[in-house]
Amino acid sequence: MPVLFALAACNQQQSTADTAAKTGEVSLTNASAAEVAKQAQAAGGAHFTPGEWETTVEVTDMELPGVPPQMRDQMKKTLMSTSKVVKTCMTPEQAAKPEAGVLTGKNDGRCTYKNFNMASGRIDATMICAGQQGAEMTQTIAGTYTDTSFALASSMDATGGPGGGMKMKAKTAGRRIGECKG
């Protein structure tokens, strides 16, 4: 359940990876998710302890200005009334080389990290994604991580597109709860 992401420029890739590996830190601008992942892995990224992990996601605020009031109220009630809890088993291999997106979310290649900073158990990132019909989504992520836990606060601001956009804030927390079962 870890982090990841990095920079492009062909001539700078190796020297950037070498620097990240020496310092254990990643600091990038205008980088693809694949580049951030590569740099984070080169830096040692976030390493997690293998075992069973529990991740909780809680939507804490939501604004839907272009949605009719009755539909907006129902959506807010549905999304904000309960936390989503997921349990997963992380193998030693997954813990040593976590997939991109564990801390920062996954994307389909339409997103670029305006900034990505990971150092000393802290992460701070801003990701911008192009959507359909002129929509754009900006997501900020800030938080902390250790080998047995992480806590993130994120905010998303979607503009344009059908409905005129939306804003949402969420908290995500993950923690190792023991050995994998079965």
**d(Cα 5, Cα 77) in Å, to the nearest integer?**
34
- Report phi then psi at 113, rounded to 5: -85, 115
Asked if residue 113 lies in contact with residue 126, where contact means CB atoms within 8 angstroms, the answer is yes
What's the pLDDT score for residue 160?
79
E strand residue ranges, the chain? 26-32, 51-63, 84-90, 111-119, 122-130, 136-145, 149-159, 165-178
What's the pLDDT score for residue 108?
63
Q: Of 105, 55, 121, 116, which is closest to residue 84 (Cα–Cα)?
A: 55
**d(Cα 103, Cα 169) in Å, to the nearest integer?**
15
Q: Is the dihedral of CA 105, 109, 112, 118 positive or negative?
A: positive
Alpha helices per DSSP H over 7-118: 10-23, 33-42, 69-80, 92-96
Q: What is the pLDDT along the chain (182 residues), one digit of tens a residue?
A: 333 333 222 233 333 444 444 456 889 999 988 888 778 777 776 678 999 999 999 999 998 887 888 888 888 888 887 889 999 999 888 877 665 555 555 556 788 999 999 999 999 999 998 887 778 999 999 999 999 999 999 999 998 766 678 899 999 999 999 999 87
